[in-house]
Structure 1
Amino acid sequence: MQKTSQIYGIRAVIEAINSNEPIDKVFIQKGLKGDLSRELEGLLRKKGIKASYVPIEKLNHLTKNNHQGVVANISPITFHQLEELVETVVQKDKAPLFLLLDQLSDVRNFGAIIRTAECTGVDGIIIQKKGAAPVTADTIKTSAGAVFKIPIAKVDHIKDAVYYLQASGISVVAATEKTDNYIYNIDFTGPAAIVMGSEDRGISPSTLKAVDHLAKIPLLGEIGSLNVSVACAVFLYEAVRQRQ
């Protein structure tokens, strides 16, 4: 069910954060001062919510209402708790398949990946609270509505999610060019999770050290990499091929 996508006013935004509303991003007027603004900034840091400091003209464009220097975007979906999601999935009579996105930042890539994940039977997507692409109108459109059909969990750190999945009996594979091992050598028939990195930095070094396997896609041309949504599709459909 889609929720209101925007709230405004510094007190309203603070209350929304304290009420654990699924806030994706907060826009704050440059130079905003006062006790309430400091309280808001402290809450944003504590919760790992992304904030952008913008001129007042930007806020006036976002809303015609009295924004008091602050506008927040609320996600149209409700995010799941990792532990509850994993517990629900592992109880099913099938080998679970999870997808972890390590600070993927482009909303259209995010939407395309969600669409592919839904089509390939992924049981859940796990993203990081800080630095991850938000669920926006572009995400929804690019996903062809799949964002409403697949559970998404937010975690503080992808590495911690890797450890939790491993403790739940799930093998974790990282998609990276920093290996000689091709995806075709990986067994995806059992409980598995695939980690995809951000568009510019790839997977963080600490996460790469934590996973069970590293795997790459063979590239035969002169271009050294694929778009992350395309690479993700290759990995997911290799898992589908092996499971058929």
Structure 2
Amino acid sequence: MEENTRIFGIRAVLEAIQSGKTIDKVYIQKGLAGPLFQELNHQLNKGEFNISYVPVEKLNKLAKGNHQGVVASISPVSFRSIEEVVAQAFEETSTPLFLLLDQITDARNFGAIIRTAACTGVNAIIFPEKGSAPVNADTVKTSAGAVFSVPLCKVNHIKDAVYYLQSSDIQVIAATEKTNDTIYQVDFKKASALVMGNEAKGVSNSILNAVDVKAKLPMSGTIESLNVSVACGAILYEAVRQRIPLNAEGGI
């Protein structure tokens, strides 16, 4: 059975996986057991799925029906591989711009970021398979449909994506308060990838240790930080500002 972009029931989720549907997230009731669930669990273990084990009350809110302890979100979009999006970007421009999201968990923040990325010429958005907000109806609505125009790429680990981009001669910049350098000191005219961090924790330390550049937005007043989607927009438009002469010459 289907409810918007959700399917529920063990058999329905099994059939969706076996038919190749793009499963964005699977919610499983804590302590679930039984032969049919074991079959589903076997299929889930064969792939890379974003799984959350939740109380039954959560599932009751997600699905109005006999969910049998399992609800899955079907993504409205297809995801691309990092190799594919990088190759395509370099076919289009010598100075691509990528956006990496380190565990952005709010679907509306995610949607707002995607919308801004579409407006600023981002070539692809890269985010981890696990720990990210699902691409659901809220994401689609908040993005104003931009999820269908910006390539989305899921990876196992953001750090591996950082290394892959660096090996492709793309500088990786982390937006973080843990630096004295501002975003206005970064040269965005190069092929670049911007890392935005989790709403509460920011960019993880392991990623900060791997990037090429760390930079922050200058802040004044008593508020210590911006909403991540707002900060992302401010930084991406700094990249646009620097790249305007290139745009005029057809560089990007």
| Identical amino acids, percent of aligned pairs | 57
Residue in 2 that maps onto 1:162: 162
- With 45-54 and 177-186 compared, the bigger mean Cα shift is at 45-54
> What SS does the corresponding residue of 1:200 show, helix, strand or coil?
coil
Deviations 1:198-233 (A, max 9, x none): 001111111111110000010011111111001101
Further displaced range: 35-44 or 162-171: 35-44
Find the residue that maps to 1:210 and give its secondary structure: coil
CA distance in 2, matches of 1:212, 1:31: 44
SS in 2 for 1:27: strand
- For residues 101 and 140 of structure 2, the distance between their equivalents in structure 1, rounded to whole angstroms, comes to 17
- Larger deviation, residues 128-137 vs 4-13: 4-13
* Paired residues of 1:59 and 1:70 also in contact (CA < 8 A): no
- The answer for the alignment partner of 1:122 in structure 2 is 122
2:226 counterpart residue number: 226
1:143 aligned residue: 143
Q: TM-score, normalised by structure 1?
A: 0.91
Is 2:26–2:49's contact at 8 Å kept on the other side of the alignment?
no
Give 3-state SS (helix, strand or coil) of 2:92's partner: coil
CA contact (8 A) 1:27 1:54 kept: no
1:81-92 equivalences in 2 (<5 Å): 81-92=81-92
CA distance in 2 between partners of 1:177 and 1:57 (Å): 35
Q: Is the 8 A contact 1:97 1:124 kept in 2?
A: yes
2:40 and 2:234 map into 1 onto residues whose CA distance is 42
Measure the CA separation in 2 of the matches of 1:192 and 1:88: 15
SS in 1 for 2:199: coil
CA contact (8 A) 2:77 2:148 kept: yes
1:177-196 aligned within 5 A: 177-196=177-196
1:133 match: 133
Cα pair 1:30 1:56 within 8 Å, conserved: no
Give unmatched runs, 5+ long, in structure 2. 245-252
Deviation (angstroms), 1:237: 0.4
Select between 15-24 and 146-155 the one with higher mean Cα deviation: 15-24
Alpha-carbon separation, structure 2, partners of 1:210 and 1:60: 40
Conserved? CA contact 2:24–2:49, under 8 Å: no
1:243 matched to which residue of 2? 243
What TM-score, normalized by structure 2, do the two folds share? 0.88
Tell me which moved more, 43-52 or 181-190.
43-52
> How far apart are the structure 2 equivalents of 1:43 and 1:56?
25
1:41 positional shift: 3.9
Residue 14 of structure 1: aligned partner: 14
Provide the rounded CA distance (Å) in 2 between the counterparts of 1:206 and 1:56.
Answer: 35
User: Which segment drifts farther, 95-104 or 201-210?
Assistant: 201-210
Q: Aligned equivalents of 2:85 and 2:170: distance in 1?
A: 13
* Residue 176 to residue 130, structure 1, CA distance change in 2 (3 Å): same
Q: 1:70 to 1:214 in 2, by over 3 A?
A: same
CA contact 2:59–2:67 (8 Å) conserved in 1:
no
Q: Which runs of 5+ in 1 are unaligned?
A: none
Does the CA-based 8 Å contact 2:25-2:49 persist in structure 1?
no
RMSD: 2.0
Q: CA deviation at 1:104?
A: 0.4
- Decide whether the 8 Å contact of 1:82 with 1:155 is kept in 2: yes
The answer to whether residue 29 in structure 2 is matched with residue 62 in structure 1 is no
